[in-house]
Amino acid sequence: MNEKTVLIKDTTPGSTTGTKDFFDLFTSALRESRLSDEVRVVRAADIGVYNHGIVLKILPENITYARVQPHDIKRIIGVTLKHGNPIRDLEYRPSSRQLRLVLRNCGRIDPENIDDYISRNGYQALYKALQAGPEAVISELKTSGLRGRGGGGFPTGLKWSMTGKSPGDEKYMICNADEGDPGAYMDRSVLEGDPHAVIEGMLIAGFAIGASQGFFYIRAEYPLAIERIQKAIDDARAYGLVGERIFNSSFSMDLEIRLGAGAFVCGEETALLASIEGKRGTPSPRPPYPSVKGLWGKPTCINNVETLANVPPIILNGGAWFSRIGTESSKGTKVFALTGKIKNSGLIEVPMGTTLRDIVFEIGGGPASGKKFKAVQTGGPSGGVIPEHLLDTGVDYDNLQRLGSIMGSGGMIVMDEDDCMVDIAKFYLKFCVDESCGKCAPCRIGGYQMLHLLEGIAQGKGTLEDLNRLRMIAKAMQKASLCGLGQTAANPVLSTLRYFEDEYREHIVNRRCPSKKCTALLRFVIDRMRCKKCGLCARTCPEKAISGDKDRGYVIDATKCISCGMCFEACKFGAVERN
């Protein structure tokens, strides 16, 4: 018998000793069967399955059993460990699992070692592309159905063929790595973990459109990504994979890095172009599109990091292979940065069409502290919230748009019952107001006015008429703003209004914040029964609104209280109540 390894983890919520107990049972059963020397038993910290009781994973067969009971141990040893056969009724089959295509090398290879990348089929796609010719590459991309991963979802093959057909002997290829959505870091991770994949994607794209110069536009806040991309470009150049006559063909292309200085709007392609040219980063009206008149007036193709990282596998395995992954309108996989009130925050990659429920509960492990799930926010400041009853929607470009959100670049923020939707809308709108470049009036003025109305509602000064005003301004911004930032800035407000209007009304009519987040609407009182008279709240209060002493106890003077909530945070006994 070969050596086997069994991983054990109790995934029951709140269980603390389950893993240990089962481990002990299992090891003593092995001793009885005289298998202790051949089978390694290991308590796992995390087994990638959640809320499924005791979970076992058997290596090297890679069999996972869920909801295992103590009486199953005997047959697991007899059937699987002795004979290597799976037990069908115990096997765990997840409704969906991660598929790592863009992240295929992330965490697997040394990003600073080009040989590591080459050992995972690196630069073979580039060679294949150079052999096949630009038309064949573009046609392969069109077959694949790959759409831009930066958020817009424009078909990549079409973009390449448009830029390729634009007249001009000088063309540019740009990689947009100005990732700025709060809570999103997919591109950073790819740049840091697999820089050569993006470079290979850039070279293939440059070859397809006829460019001989490429730029990485990376935000300066990503120092490690910049360092690794620079090293990767240098190493590739030393191998002759960047520069003159690549693979001894007639194709030459050089790559350079340009740094973004931190403006969110510079992720918008026309503003990005202005920024590379050394001008102020403000968008300009389209048409003309960059594919016709882009960088320094020359035809330019701009692709997002994740889009480019998809290119080498498409060329290697074929467009038809890629188009078999995903849904009818959205092919391939999508990387999401799962953050917020979620157990396993991190990066995940799933095939398009995976349901939000699977992403949040199966892969993400559900809300962090066992609190009730409320909504998930997708698409960052340009997206919207999706409430619980729509969680069974499969994620793709069109489905999310239908729900009033967008795919965006892939930020996914999970919110639980403690999150107030008015507060969330205010947060995202504030972000867009701060980042608005101010060039066009709808975005500059509309955003500010909406934020003003939201702040009023959060302070209990709103009226029901404000809700209509918000909708009206939002519509004007969507229709009349110059670029994507202004056109989508109102989305978080509109989607929270669409699914959580009750919460807005509660703030306005009853002057109450159901999630107890809008502190201006809260009243703080000290519960005399629970108060231990320690005086910590009185010492913490910045307004000296809490009086009393260690004998009589403490009271909050409502006329002085500014509802900052510091006493609530400070009290160790839960004696400060907020209503």
Partner 1 sequence: MAVITWDDLTALQKRRQEQDTNWIKVGMSTCGIAAGADRVYRALEEELHKQGCEVQLRKCGCLGMCAAEPLVEVSIAGMPQVIYCRVDEATARDIVRGHVCGRKILQDYIIDMQSEEVS
Residues that bind partner 1 (CB under 8 A): 3, 5, 7, 40, 42-49, 57, 59-60, 64, 94, 97-101, 103-113, 115-116, 118-124, 127, 185, 188-189, 192-194, 222, 224-225, 238-241, 245-248, 313, 317, 343-349, 363
Identify whether 60 is preceded by a cis peptide bond (ω within 30 of 0): yes
Distance separating alpha carbons of residues 173 and 160, to the nearest angstrom: 10
Considering beta carbons, is residue 192 or 269 the nearer one to partner 1?
A: 192
Question: At closest approach, how far in Å is the CB of 282 from partner 1?
Answer: 29
Query: Residue 333 corresponds to which amino acid?
Result: T
Question: At closest approach, how far in Å is the CB of 491 from partner 1?
Answer: 26
Considering beta carbons, is residue 179 or 503 the nearer one to partner 1?
A: 179
Tokens standing for 162? 């448009």
Query: φ and ψ at 264, to 5 degrees?
Result: -60, -40
Tell how strand 254-260 and strand 213-219 pair up.
parallel
Considering beta carbons, is residue 224 or 509 the nearer one to partner 1?
A: 224
Question: At closest approach, how far in Å is the CB of 128 from partner 1?
Answer: 9
Question: At closest approach, how far in Å is the CB of 223 from partner 1?
Answer: 9
Distance separating alpha carbons of residues 43 and 23, to the nearest angstrom: 7
Considering beta carbons, is residue 125 or 390 the nearer one to partner 1?
A: 125
Considering beta carbons, is residue 149 or 343 the nearer one to partner 1?
A: 343
Question: At closest approach, how far in Å is the CB of 49 from partner 1?
Answer: 6
Q: Whose CA is closest to 406, among 432, 381, 373, 435?
A: 381
Q: Whose CA is closest to 414, among 308, 338, 519?
A: 338
Contact 149, 397 (CB under 8 A): no
Contact 381, 408 (CB under 8 A): no
Tokens standing for 37? 């020397």
Question: At closest approach, how far in Å is the CB of 80 from partner 1?
Answer: 16
DSSP single-letter state for residue 490:
T
Contact 391, 360 (CB under 8 A): yes
Question: At closest approach, how far in Å is the CB of 63 from partner 1?
Answer: 12
Give the list of residues 6+ apart from residue 482 with CB closer than 8 angstroms, or none.
283, 284, 285, 439, 440, 442, 443
Tokens standing for 468? 């209509």
Question: At closest approach, how far in Å is the CB of 507 from partner 1?
Answer: 33
Question: At closest approach, how far in Å is the CB of 8 from partner 1?
Answer: 10
Distance separating alpha carbons of residues 283 and 290, to the nearest angstrom: 12
Question: At closest approach, how far in Å is the CB of 20 from partner 1?
Answer: 9
Tokens standing for 250? 């007639």
Considering beta carbons, is residue 314 or 425 the nearer one to partner 1?
A: 314
Tokens standing for 174? 């740009």
Identify whether 381 is preceded by a cis peptide bond (ω within 30 of 0): no
172 sits in which H/E element: strand 172-177
Question: At closest approach, how far in Å is the CB of 350 from partner 1?
Answer: 9
Distance separating alpha carbons of residues 378 and 397, to the nearest angstrom: 11
Considering beta carbons, is residue 39 or 174 the nearer one to partner 1?
A: 39
Considering beta carbons, is residue 358 or 503 the nearer one to partner 1?
A: 358
**502: number of CA atoms within 13 Å, CB side?**
4
Tokens standing for 285? 């009206």
Considering beta carbons, is residue 97 or 371 the nearer one to partner 1?
A: 97
Tokens standing for 147? 């759409």
Considering beta carbons, is residue 124 or 329 the nearer one to partner 1?
A: 124
Q: Is 356 left (phi over 0), alpha (psi -120 to 50) or beta?
A: alpha
Considering beta carbons, is residue 113 or 393 the nearer one to partner 1?
A: 113
Distance separating alpha carbons of residues 319 and 308, to the nearest angstrom: 14
Considering beta carbons, is residue 282 or 307 the nearer one to partner 1?
A: 307
CA 165 to chain centre: 34
How far apart, in Å, are the Cα atoms of 485 and each of 96, 488, 568? 33, 6, 38
Question: At closest approach, how far in Å is the CB of 364 from partner 1?
Answer: 10
Question: At closest approach, how far in Å is the CB of 146 from partner 1?
Answer: 14
Considering beta carbons, is residue 310 or 330 the nearer one to partner 1?
A: 310
The count of other CB atoms within 10 Å of the CB of residue 534 is 15
* Collapsed DSSP state (helix, strand, coil) of residue 202: helix
